[in-house]
Amino acid sequence: MSREVSKTPESVKLESSEDLQKEDSNKPPNYKRISDDDLYRHSSQYRMWSFTENNLRERRKQTNDRAVSMINQQLGKFMEENKSTLTEEETNTLNVKASPLSMEEELQLINFYSKKVQVIAQHLNLPTEVIATSITFFRRFFLDNSVMEYDPKNLVHTTIFLACKSENYFISVDSFAKKAKSTRDAILKYEFKLVESLKFSLLNHHPYKPLHGFFLDIQTVLHGKVDLKYMGQIYDRCKKKITDSLLTDIVYLFTPPQITLAIISLEDEQLISRYLGLKFGKEDATEASKGESDTSIENKEEDEEKEAKPSEEIELNKLLAILADCKDKLEKSLSVTTDEAKRVAAKNYYCQNPSILLQKLKRKLEASNAESPNKKQKVEE
């Protein structure tokens, strides 16, 4: 993650070494001019936590592969050590129930526990942004760490606690431990690892503020044509939907305003298409709004601007396509049932602790033998 220090370190930023070369080639050409989009491009969320679907898949695969080979190594050793004492039945059971998790299974477990993070955080009456940050931290942690390396159960309280600190909602670890029915050590145990895995980027841009912003702008652009009471009603519904969206991969694939617009659109498509059409549709509309801002500039500065590239304009069609894609993914997102989660969690546990599975099997066998001792004796004879 380190970067070379140049003599004029103005353009040095923190990035993961893989993204380094890609980032350089993707820098917008007129880097110094800060358009609204450039402002977002400077954020750590854009630089480090924005991916295409392929990126995500690759990354998860990498994490999974690494963990799988480690588990297989351990299992291999275990099988070797116990070769002589294992029955065929036991070996088969072990191969099924104590095998490493697949990438998809990992994702299931992560999503299940992310929901738990949300529920617990809500139960603790934490502010919306703190809850959102907790979930975000949690999911990001497991992008580069496997559930087979770190049990998600152990990270739930840690992420919530770190989110409280990061969002200036400070609670002392002792009172937090009491409320969460956990212990100080359990909460702090993985804090360093969490911060490290987050690559020390703690500032998140959630879609809530854009929600507020768009609601204001809609009132401007569609002035008089929209019922304010109605707006107030859908506002709360949208807020809740935003929190749900954080449980999916949406946050990596789209920017916060895009997610917000997609969610509002799911609530009321007409509203958004009217709004966007008026806002970005005709050339005149955009020109008018540009011209009005800041008439108090120095002439020289104006001249400089005219020579330089104009700041980015939104292409309506492109934006609509992005929103459609986002909506589509939102609707397709599935939640994980408790049963599924239990199954996967069990597998996770056993693949790391095959000996315990073995014990369980043995005990089970003994229990069934105890029930029908006659049968057993007959067999032995």
Q: Which of residues 318-377 bind another protein (CB under 8 A)?
A: 318-319, 322
| Closer residue to another protein (CB): 318 or 360 | 318
Burial of 254 (0-12, 13-18, 19+ CB in 10 A): buried
| Closer residue to another protein (CB): 170 or 370 | 170
| Closer residue to another protein (CB): 76 or 213 | 213
**Position 212 contacts another protein (CB under 8 A):** yes
Q: Which residue in 216, 324, 346, 356 binds another protein (CB under 8 A)?
A: 216
| Closer residue to another protein (CB): 82 or 311 | 311
Angle separating helix axes 152-166 and 103-123, nearest 10 degrees:
50
| Lookup: tokens for 378 | 């007959």
Q: For residues 90 and 252, give the distance between their C-alpha atoms in angstroms, rounded to a whole number.
A: 42
Q: Could you tell me the smallest distance in angstroms from the CB atom of residue 332 to another protein?
A: 17
| Lookup: tokens for 233 | 């009603």
DSSP per residue over 33-81, as a string?
S--HHHHHHTSHHHHHS---HHHHHHHHHHHHHHHHHHHHHHHHHHHHH
Q: Which among 78-86, 158-166, 238-246, 329-337 is the span making contact with another protein, rule CB under 8 A? A: 158-166
Binding string, 231-250, against another protein, x = CB under 8 A? x-------------------
Q: Which residue in 91, 122, 220, 335 binds another protein (CB under 8 A)?
A: 220
The DSSP call for residue 9 is: G
**Position 284 contacts another protein (CB under 8 A):** no
Q: Which among 102-110, 149-157, 168-176, 350-358 is the span making contact with another protein, rule CB under 8 A? A: 168-176
Q: Which residues in the 57-76 window bind another protein by CB under 8 A?
A: none
Q: Could you tell me the smallest distance in angstroms from the CB atom of residue 202 to another protein?
A: 4
H or E stretch at 301: helix 299-307
**Position 125 contacts another protein (CB under 8 A):** no
Amino acid at 329: K
Q: Which among 59-67, 101-109, 162-170, 267-275 is the span making contact with another protein, rule CB under 8 A? A: 162-170
Q: Could you tell me the smallest distance in angstroms from the CB atom of residue 311 to another protein?
A: 5
**Position 24 contacts another protein (CB under 8 A):** no
**Position 34 contacts another protein (CB under 8 A):** yes
Q: For residues 129 and 241, give the distance between their C-alpha atoms in angstroms, rounded to a whole number.
A: 14
Q: For the CA atoms of the chain, what is the radius of gyration?
A: 27
| Lookup: tokens for 298 | 């120095």
Q: Which residue in 104, 303, 366, 371 binds another protein (CB under 8 A)?
A: 303
Q: For residues 206 and 129, give the distance between their C-alpha atoms in angstroms, rounded to a whole number.
A: 8
The DSSP call for residue 127 is: -
Q: Could you tell me the smallest distance in angstroms from the CB atom of residue 232 to another protein?
A: 8
| Lookup: tokens for 7 | 């003599």
Q: For residues 327 and 272, give the distance between their C-alpha atoms in angstroms, rounded to a whole number.
A: 13
Q: Which among 61-69, 90-98, 237-245, 307-315 is the span making contact with another protein, rule CB under 8 A? A: 307-315
- Are 248 and 195 in contact by the 8 Å Cβ rule? The answer is no
| Closer residue to another protein (CB): 34 or 346 | 34
Q: Could you tell me the smallest distance in angstroms from the CB atom of residue 297 to another protein?
A: 6
Cβ within 8 Å of residue 50, ≥6 positions away: 252, 253, 255
Q: For residues 375 and 381, give the distance between their C-alpha atoms in angstroms, rounded to a whole number.
A: 10
Of 105, 136, 106, the C-alpha closest to 118 is 136
The DSSP call for residue 117 is: H
- Are 245 and 192 in contact by the 8 Å Cβ rule? The answer is no
| Closer residue to another protein (CB): 101 or 221 | 221
**Position 52 contacts another protein (CB under 8 A):** yes
Distance of CA 367 to the CA centre of its chain: 44
Amino acid at 365: L
Q: Which among 63-71, 100-108, 290-298, 365-373 is the span making contact with another protein, rule CB under 8 A? A: 290-298
Q: Which among 71-79, 312-320, 342-350, 356-364 is the span making contact with another protein, rule CB under 8 A? A: 312-320
H or E stretch at 130: helix 128-144
Q: Could you tell me the smallest distance in angstroms from the CB atom of residue 151 to another protein?
A: 19
Q: Which among 41-49, 142-150, 239-247, 368-376 is the span making contact with another protein, rule CB under 8 A? A: 41-49
